[in-house]
Amino acid sequence: MSESGLMPRILSALLLALASVPAAAQLSLPPGEDARVPSRLAPLDTESRWYERFDTAGQALALTLGDGADGAWRQYFGGQWLADADRTRIAALLGDEDMAFRRVLAKADAYEQMVLGWVPPEGGEAYAALADRPEADAVICWRALDSGTGWPTTLAEAEDRARHACVRVSYSTRFDAPQWRAFLDAATVPAD
């Protein structure tokens, strides 16, 4: 096999391997942060260099998730590299009448969007280092304008799909064209 034919195969295999890594493993916590402690969330500062990028990604997601087109959302959740099991799980979550996505995003212009970032712990020097990296994660949530529902304050709350319409988005400016991907991790219901 020629060298020029080998590179596309290697790249395809690498992308497939990266896409099959569980979404939870792709969320990088700052060094020294305990993964067992609930990750606290707060609105991302609108002056952040990441805010506009995440806000624009959220608007694209809301339009796609809200239009109800079967599978149109796949392009944002990994496209051709999205595993069949994940595709089935996400389709079920988005189509379930008891889940927040269906209730909130089905009515165009009847919802508002919030970009949430992680709250640094006391003495969060590690977060300052993360702010300068060429990639970042945020949680994007939507709620009905008249819902009276507050925004989630922890990642566990954001993943309660019956109460909150939220996705995690990873963004990278590492390449010529900035890229992002959405993750809809397995639904959880916090214990009361």
Which residue ranges make up each domain of the chain? 37-183
Tokens of 72: 């149109």
pLDDT of amino acid 173:
87
Of the pLDDT bands very low, low, confident and very high (cuts 50, 70, 90), residue 9 is very low
12 compared with 143, residue with greater pLDDT: 143
Q: From the CA atom positions of the chain, what is the Rg in Å? A: 17
- In this prediction, residues 73-94 reach a mean pLDDT of 88
Q: Which of 69, 70, 18 is nearest to 183 (CA)?
A: 18
Q: What is the pLDDT of residues 107-134, one digit of tens each?
A: 777 899 999 988 876 655 555 555 667 8
Residue with tokens 């003495």: 123
User: For residue 70, is pLDDT > 60?
Assistant: yes
What residue spans of 107-191 are helical by DSSP H? Answer: 125-131, 155-158
User: For residue 147, is pLDDT > 90?
Assistant: no
Give the Cβ contact number of residue 133 at 10 Å: 11
Q: Are 167 and 184 in contact, with CB atoms under 8 Å apart?
A: yes
Q: Rounded to two decimals, what is the model's pTM?
A: 0.74
Separation CA 175–CA 152 (nearest Å): 32
Which H or E run contains 182?
A: strand 179-183
